[in-house]
Amino acid sequence: MSYSIEKLLADHFDLHDCEIKGLVGYANSNYLIKSRGERFVFKTYRYDEEELAIIGAENELLLFLQRKADKPDQFPMPVSSKQGEYLIDVTLDGVRVIGRMLSFLSGDFSGDHTMRQESAESLGTFLAEMDLLLKDFDHPLYKGRAWEWDIQHLGLIKKYVNDIPDQHQRSIVRYFIHQFEVEVAEHLPQLRKQVIHNDANEMNLLQHEQDITGIIDFGDATCSPLINELAVALTYACYDKEDPLHWLVTISKSYHRKIQLKPLEVDLLYYLIAARLCLSVCNSAHARKVDPDNTYATVSEDNAWSMLHKWLETGPTKVSRLLRESLGLQLPVLSEISEKLAHRNQHLSETLSVSYSTPIWMERAAFQYMYDSYGNAILDAYNNIPHVGHCHPHVVERASAQMARLNTNTRYLYDQLTAYAEQLLAKFPKPLNKVFFVNSGSAATDLALRLVRKHTGSDSIMVLEHGYHGNTQLGIDVSDYKFSHARGQGQQPYIHKTALPDTYRGKYGGEDAGMKYATDAVAEIRSATEKIVAFIAEPIVGCGGQVPLAEGYLKPVYAAIRAQGGLCISDEVQTGFGRVGDQFWGFEQQGVVPDLVILGKPMGNGHPIGAVVTTDEVAASFEQGVEFFSSFGGNPVSCVIGQAVLDVIENEGLQHHARTVGDYYQQQLRELSKTHPCIGDVRGSGLFIGIDIVKPGTTGTDRALASHIKNFLRSNHILISTDGPDDSVLKTKPPMCFNRANVDQVVDHIDQAIKVFSAK
């Protein structure tokens, strides 16, 4: 027969004239029952054999707690039916359900209180005391339970990752899942395990004044590493707080007073909390996909996302060091920076310079953040090599899978090479339809110059003042930045250097500056005693101080070079792959199509790949010479990485992101220049920006102030660099996932730095 809820309560539990209120539940229907002054919770679940076994185990757990606990009313008590059953199999309103009755626990939800020091401490103590009781509880079902709300089985959640609509958020989740696999998985067998509640969130904890007095909903209980109990509780206790680390420490300390945490457990907490957040956002995304109206499943989502972002801004080492210190556990001993540096110099030449007078000892990185060995999280506003973000999971996963499958060279056929070549060349205008893969920007420059020589029969080339194109001999030959350096080799006779078409500090300014500079360069090309057969430039000259070539400059220069049978090279090592925002390649800004394009840095997101992209014609000339072979260039791992980078740029809309965030960045910097006239010029495109630091009212450089700003930012854990002929231009070209909040942080610190400098 099919019962109504009233009849069911009367027939099975002898409860008559009840006041019945429906309660929201995650996956089941619950009722709050009031009868003769007593309150109960009646829970129903759609009938299912597996569910029946799980609820059976949960009831055993609750009965165990009733027997063991000093204060049994901290936990729901199973109430048996008239027939003496804790679980009943009935048809309720036409649906076969499992029903169970539990005592009602009074108190407020802790989520309805503002967390205070005492309540946080009480939470830690409460959890530890419960875990001490649960230590002796055993159930075969929990031991064998592998399900997706248990952190130790995080991998099970992967099937829901693609239900997260935002691609960058998806990447953050993939990053943390991957970190779990790398940093946690191997330690799981060493961790002490027991049955845990596994869901001590703010809507399951009951509070009276500042005391945690009870906990409900043991539906997620499972046998898992004990530390996961704390990880789950900390996740929910911290995820909506301004200062999560404060609460993390407070709760952990009081837990630790009852159950001593082990160093390994403490070290893993960061990852376990991240894992729990991933579980939460994945399950929410999945629940929303299945049922867009299910608001219960998604209540905690915003908090979880905000905490995941905070976690990236924090990093694992800070958390583990802080906890170890607060709990009185031993801290890993770290060497001094000076020792590290001395050790390095023992084996490596000091010509490898290190940034900053106190160099940074890096340990790891994620997206736009880097983390040093002391636990500092550092905002990376400088490095453009990790183009789509440091350790981007798509790149890392594709790379490691390919490394495990095949890595070989171009003497064999494999699909990755062709697939990547095709995907990359699709990003270029038609005539550029051949690619040579190498391992660095320098190797690409070197090869491009060889291609030019073979095609034109000459090496005479025009280069820009302050340009840099690579570290090989040919690379140095074409790099004024190096050959004109006080300790440089000097200019080779085959090199023709022309002025940097700089509209800020150069000879010409205003709208027709590009044309004027070009006119000069063209005259030089025409009047050179030896025919100039090539021209090489970056579209925005990085080492020159992020100087964009004056508008309209390249067209006439390219035309003049081509008029004498020459070739034009665009060095896109810095500016390529969508960084400049409006265009995918920097040369597009000038409305030209080069004959050769040099690629490097961002291409492999840190994996060493470079390439020369050229035309059929130029490639055909090169084929007349000796064979070209690169042991590593175009290997399958590199190709897969290159493809992964292109995929992320596309999927995460990074070119558009670079434009919008870059525009905002420049706008904020220009705003700042109004109060600080020492900011003489803000220039660049997208996320490739230069901030020219000058003596106010002049274009005279202020190297000391630029250096002060760079170092001030460094001591506030922000990376930025200086460059330009007098090292007075601040260079910022962050990973492309850099966001507006990051921009605000940088701009605010530049402001502070200048104020500090002026006050001196």
Would you tell me which residues interact with ligand PMP (CB under 6 A)?
440-442, 445, 468-471, 538, 542, 571, 573-574, 600-601, 610
Which position's Cβ is nearest ligand PMP?
441
- Distance, CA of 425 to CA of 639 (rounded, Å): 13
Minimum CB distance to ligand PMP, residue 466 (Å): 11
Mode of pairing for the β-strands spanning 718-719 and 377-380: parallel
- Nearest-10 Cα torsion for 51, 55, 60, 62: 160
Q: Cβ neighbours of residue 52 under 8 Å, at least 6 residues apart?
A: 87, 89, 98
Q: Which amino acid is at 81?
A: S
- Kindly tell me which of 632 and 664 has the beta carbon lying closer to ligand PMP: 632
Please give the structure tokens belonging to residue 399.
Answer: 């790379």
Per the CB < 8 A criterion, the answer to whether 234 and 273 are in contact is: yes
Nearest distance, CB of residue 610 and ligand PMP, angstroms: 6
Structure tokens at 51: 């569910």
Quote the least distance from Cβ 476 to ligand PMP, whole Å: 11
Closest CA to 390 of 403, 400, 404, 379: 379
Q: Which is nearer to ligand PMP, 420 or 468 (CB)?
A: 468
How far apart, in Å, do the first and last CA atoms of the chain sit?
Answer: 87
- Shortest Cβ 601–ligand PMP spacing (Å): 6
Question: Quick one: CA torsion of 240, 366, 379, 317, rounded to 10 degrees?
Answer: 70
In the complex, least distance from residue 546 CB atom to ligand PMP, rounded to whole angstroms: 11
For residues 208 and 113, the answer to whether their CB atoms sit within 8 Å is: no
Angstrom distances, CA of residue 414 to CA of 397, 425, 438, 642: 19, 18, 17, 15
Smallest gap from Cβ 472 to ligand PMP, in A, equals: 8
Toward ligand PMP, which CB reaches closer, 110 or 440? 440
Q: How far is the CB of 166 from ligand PMP (least distance, A)?
A: 32
Q: How far apart are CA 353 and CA 264, in angstroms?
A: 36
| Comparison of 388 and 540: residue with beta carbon closer to ligand PMP | 540
- Min separation Cβ 470 and ligand PMP, Å: 4
Residue 352: CB minimum distance to ligand PMP, A? 13
Cβ of residue 123: shortest distance to ligand PMP, in angstroms?
52
How far, in Å, CA of 669 to CA of 748, rounded? 10
Q: Looking at beta carbons only, is 151 or 541 nearer to ligand PMP? A: 541
Measured CA to CA, the distance from residue 364 to residue 370 in angstroms comes to: 6
Q: Can you spell out the DSSP letters for 692-754? A: EEBSTTS--B-HHHHHHHHHHHHHTTEE-EEESTTS-EEEE---TT--HHHHHHHHHHHHHHH
The nearer residue to ligand PMP, 61 or 447, going by C-beta atoms, is 447
Pick between residue 202 and residue 572 the one whose CB is nearest to ligand PMP.
Answer: 572
Q: Which is nearer to ligand PMP, 62 or 597 (CB)?
A: 597
| Contact partners, residue 26, CB within 8 Å, separation at least 6 | 219, 296, 297
Q: How far is the CB of 423 from ligand PMP (least distance, A)?
A: 21
Q: Which is nearer to ligand PMP, 476 or 679 (CB)?
A: 476
441 or 545: whose CB is closer to ligand PMP? 441
Please enumerate in sequence order all residues whose Cβ is within 8 A of that of 693, keeping only pairs 6 or more positions apart, or say none. 678, 679, 680, 701, 702, 703, 705, 706, 709, 728, 729, 730
CA–CA gap between residue 674 and residue 677 (Å, rounded): 6
564 φ/ψ angles, rounded to the nearest 5 degrees: -110, 30
Q: In this structure, are residues 466 and 483 in contact, taking their beta carbons and an 8 Å threshold?
A: no
| Residue with smaller CB distance to ligand PMP, 131 or 446 | 446
Tell me how long the chain is. 760
Nearer to ligand PMP (CB atom), residue 600 or residue 633: 600
d(CA 576, CA 34): 69
The number of helix segments (H) and strand segments (E) in the chain equals 24, 29
- Angle 639-640-643 (CA atoms, 0-180°, nearest 5)? 85
Nearer of residues 35 and 630 to ligand PMP, judged by Cβ: 630
CB of 541 to ligand PMP, least distance (A): 8
The rounded radius of gyration (Å) of the Cα atoms in the chain is 32
Q: Could you tell me the maximum CA-CA distance found in the chain, to the nearest angstrom? A: 110
Q: Which residues pair with 377 in a beta bridge?
A: 371
Nearer to ligand PMP, 172 or 474 (CB): 474
Shortest Cβ distance from residue 488 to ligand PMP (Å)? 16
Closest distance to ligand PMP from the beta carbon of 159 (Å): 39
99 touches 210 (CB < 8 A): no
Nearest Cα neighbor of 669 from 660, 680, 656 is 680
Q: Which helix (H) or strand (E) holds 252?
A: helix 244-258
Contact call for residues 226 and 131 (beta carbons, < 8 A): yes
Shortest separation between residue 273's beta carbon and ligand PMP, angstroms: 37
Tell me whether residue 503 or residue 721 sits nearer to ligand PMP (CB atom).
721
Pick the closest to residue 218 from 22, 9, 78, 48 (CA basis): 78
The residue (of 61 and 438) whose beta carbon lies closer to ligand PMP is 438
Smallest gap from residue 433 Cβ to ligand PMP (A):
22
